[in-house]
Amino acid sequence: MAQDPSLPDPALVVLVGASGAGKSTWAQARFRSAEIVSSDDLRGVVGSGRHDLDASGDAFALLDLIVAGRVRRGLTTVVDTLGLDVVRRREWLDLARAHGLPAVAVGFETPPALCRSRNAARDRPVPARVLTEQLRAFRGLALDAEGWDRVATVTTDEPAAAPVPQGPQTRSPRPRSGLDVVLQVSRFPWGEDPAAWLTGVARAADEAGFAGLALMDHLIQVPQVGTAWEPIPEPWVTLGLLAGLDTGLRLGTLVSPVTFRPPGITAKTVATLDVISGGRAFCGVGAGWWEREHLAFGLPFPPPAERLDLLETAIETMRALWATGTRPYDGQRVVLPETTCYPRPVHDVPVLVGGAGERRTLRIAARLADGCNVPVDVVEEKAAVLRRHCEEAGRDPAEVAVTVLDLPVVGRDRDDVWERVERLRGRTAAATYARRHHAGTPPQHRDRYRVLEERGVHTVFAALPDLGRPEDLLDVAAMLP
C-alpha cells in the first residue's frame, strides 16, 4: 500500500502511542510488511507467541539488529513498538542521523477511551492500569522537542457499528441426523449490544449447522471459563430471546443446578420455552458444585448427598407437572395435590443429567433421565457404568442417550490453530493445552466426532473457548459431521 505522501521516503519511522492506539494498523496500511519491525512479531519469532513477555529481551535485541541493518542500507524502516521509552527513541534517532536517513516520529493521539475499548476487545488485553500508565506517559511526551526531522500525529476514527438484527419468527426443530453437535455458549463477549451478539450467535450457529444452542447455568462466571466479573446471563431468559428467532436450534441449559430454583418453577420455565420455541426445549439438570455462587446469592448449598436427593426430586417434579391431566401426583419422593401446569410442553422435553459421579449421578440418570452428559475424555468408562445402572434399573440403555461436553480449539489451518492455543493457554504449557482441547482444524474435529458417533455418543456439546464474533461460527461449520 502507498505510504503517506507527506512523509519522507526512505525514512526511519518510529511509532509512539499506547496499546490499542492503532499503531500497527496504521503501519500495515501504509508500508510493506518487510519495512515494519514489530516487537510483538519478534516475540512470536524468538518466544512462544506475540504475547510472550519473557521473550522481550531477545525480541528487542533482534529488533535493534534489524533496524540497524536496514537503516545502514538506507531502507525505510518502521519501528512498531510502544515507542514510549525515551532512551530507545534517542538511540533510533542517533542511528538515523549517523546514516543520513530522515527520522520521523509518529505520535498516536487516539482518545484514551477508544484505546481502552479496543484493548478490552482484544484476546489478550494489557491490564487496565498498565494501559493507564502508557496513556499518562504518552501525554507527558514532547516529541517536538526531541530533534526529529518530522513529527506527525495520527488521530483515529471509531470503527463501524454492529449490524442490526431482523424481526423474530419461529421454526420447528432441526431433524436429527446421526450425531448432533450442539453449540455450548459459556462466555459472552457481547460488547455494547448483548441482544445483537446473542441473536447473531444463534443465527450463525443455525446457519453453520449446529443442532442446538446450550447455555451454562451459573450465577457467577466459573473460573474454568473466565473471570468473575465477566457477564453471565440468566440462561432461561436468554433462551427466551433466542426462541423467538427463525432458527431450528434446540435450546436448553447444560446444566441447571437443582439448588438454584424450586423444581416446579423450572418445570414452568421449561414448559414455557418449549411452547414459545415450537417444541425445541431441552433441560439439563445437575446437583450443583460451586459453593461460592450459592453463598453469594443467598442460596443454601447442602452437602452432596442432599443435593443428589434434590436432583431426583427435581426430575420427578418436572415430569409430574409436564404429564397430561391435572390429577394428584403421589410418587417416590414427591407428592403434589394436583398437577395443573399450563401451558404444557408441546413435545417430550428431554431431561439430561450432567455429571459423572458413578455411584449416584449416573444411577439417577439411568433411572430418570433421557440422557447423561459426561466429559468427552472419559466417555467410554462412564457409558459402561451408565449401561450397568440401566440394566440394574430394568431400563433399556438405548433410552438414555450418552452426550459429551467437548471444548475444542478450532483453527482454519495449522498456523491458526497454534495461534489460538498460544492465545488461550494462559499459564498452561502449549502442548498440554492443545492436547486437552484437541486443538485442530475443522476436518480433524469432524473425524474425531465420527469416532464418537461410532462409539454410540448421541450429542456433542461443543464449547468453543474463543468464541468471539458470531460470524466466526461459519468458519467452524466444516467440523460438523
Interface with ligand CTP (CB under 6 A)? 17, 19-25, 40, 82, 118, 156, 159
Q: In this chain, which residue has its C-beta nearest to Mg ion?
A: 24
Q: 40 or 91, CB closer to Mg ion?
A: 40
At its nearest, how many Å lie between ligand CTP and the CB of residue 120? 10
Q: 135 or 216, CB closer to ligand CTP?
A: 135
Q: 134 or 259, CB closer to ligand CTP?
A: 134
Report the C-alpha gap between 275 and 291 in whole angstroms. Answer: 33
Q: Cα dihedral sign for 442, 445, 449, 451?
A: positive
Chain positions 21 to 80 lying near Mg ion, rule: CB under 5 A, are 23-24
At its nearest, how many Å lie between ligand CTP and the CB of residue 111? 12
Q: 59 or 271, CB closer to ligand CTP?
A: 59
Q: 78 or 369, CB closer to Mg ion?
A: 78
At its nearest, how many Å lie between ligand CTP and the CB of residue 128? 14
Query: How many beta carbons lie within 10 A of that of residue 451, not counting itself?
Result: 9
* Residue 134 touches which member of Mg ion, ligand CTP, none, C-beta under 5-8 Å by kind: none
At its nearest, how many Å lie between ligand CTP and the CB of residue 216? 27
Q: 23 or 448, CB closer to Mg ion?
A: 23
* Residue 294 touches which member of ligand CTP, Mg ion, none, C-beta under 5-8 Å by kind: none
At its nearest, how many Å lie between ligand CTP and the CB of residue 1? 14
Given a contact cutoff of 8 angstroms between Cβ atoms, the answer to whether 225 and 188 are in contact is: no
Pattern 10-29, Mg ion, x by CB under 5 A: -------------xx-----
Residues 6+ apart with CB under 8 A from 38: 24, 80, 81
Q: 193 or 419, CB closer to Mg ion?
A: 419
At its nearest, how many Å lie between ligand CTP and the CB of residue 86? 17
* Residue 89 touches which member of Mg ion, ligand CTP, none, C-beta under 5-8 Å by kind: none
* Residue 112 touches which member of Mg ion, ligand CTP, none, C-beta under 5-8 Å by kind: none
* Residue 82 touches which member of Mg ion, ligand CTP, none, C-beta under 5-8 Å by kind: ligand CTP
At its nearest, how many Å lie between ligand CTP and the CB of residue 61? 19
Report the C-alpha gap between 77 and 13 in whole angstroms. Answer: 6
Q: How far lies 298's CA from each of 82, 293, 302, in Å?
A: 46, 9, 13
* Residue 170 touches which member of ligand CTP, Mg ion, none, C-beta under 5-8 Å by kind: none
* Residue 159 touches which member of Mg ion, ligand CTP, none, C-beta under 5-8 Å by kind: ligand CTP
| Residue 285, all three cell numbers | 439438570
Angle between helices 128-139 and 112-120 (to 10 degrees): 150
Q: 23 or 363, CB closer to Mg ion?
A: 23
3-state secondary structure 150-165: EEEEECCCCCCCCCCC
Report the C-alpha gap between 65 and 72 in whole angstroms. Answer: 11
> What are residue 250's phi and psi, to 5 degrees?
-75, 145
Tell me 281's DSSP state.
Answer: E
Q: 44 or 212, CB closer to Mg ion?
A: 44
Report the C-alpha gap between 201 and 476 in whole angstroms. Answer: 13
Hey, what's the torsion of the CAs at 445, 451, 456, 457, to 10 degrees? -10
At its nearest, how many Å lie between ligand CTP and the CB of residue 27? 8
* Residue 118 touches which member of Mg ion, ligand CTP, none, C-beta under 5-8 Å by kind: ligand CTP
At its nearest, how many Å lie between ligand CTP and the CB of residue 32? 17
At its nearest, how many Å lie between ligand CTP and the CB of residue 79? 12
Q: 81 or 403, CB closer to ligand CTP?
A: 81
| Residue 466, all three cell numbers | 474463543
Given a contact cutoff of 8 angstroms between Cβ atoms, the answer to whether 203 and 245 are in contact is: yes
* Residue 321 touches which member of ligand CTP, Mg ion, none, C-beta under 5-8 Å by kind: none
Q: 18 or 372, CB closer to ligand CTP?
A: 18
Given a contact cutoff of 8 angstroms between Cβ atoms, the answer to whether 30 and 2 are in contact is: yes
At its nearest, how many Å lie between ligand CTP and the CB of residue 116? 11
Report the C-alpha gap between 291 and 65 in whole angstroms. Answer: 54
* Residue 19 touches which member of Mg ion, ligand CTP, none, C-beta under 5-8 Å by kind: ligand CTP
**DSSP characters for 27-91?**
HHTTS-GGGEEEHHHHHHHHSSSTT-GGGHHHHHHHHHHHHHHHHHTT--EEEES----HHHHHH
* Residue 17 touches which member of Mg ion, ligand CTP, none, C-beta under 5-8 Å by kind: ligand CTP
Identify the CA nearest to 127 among candidates 185, 51, 187: 51
Angle between helices 361-368 and 379-392 (to 10 degrees): 60
Question: Looking up cell 432461561, which residue turns up?
Answer: 236
| Footprint of Mg ion (CB under 5 A) | 23-24
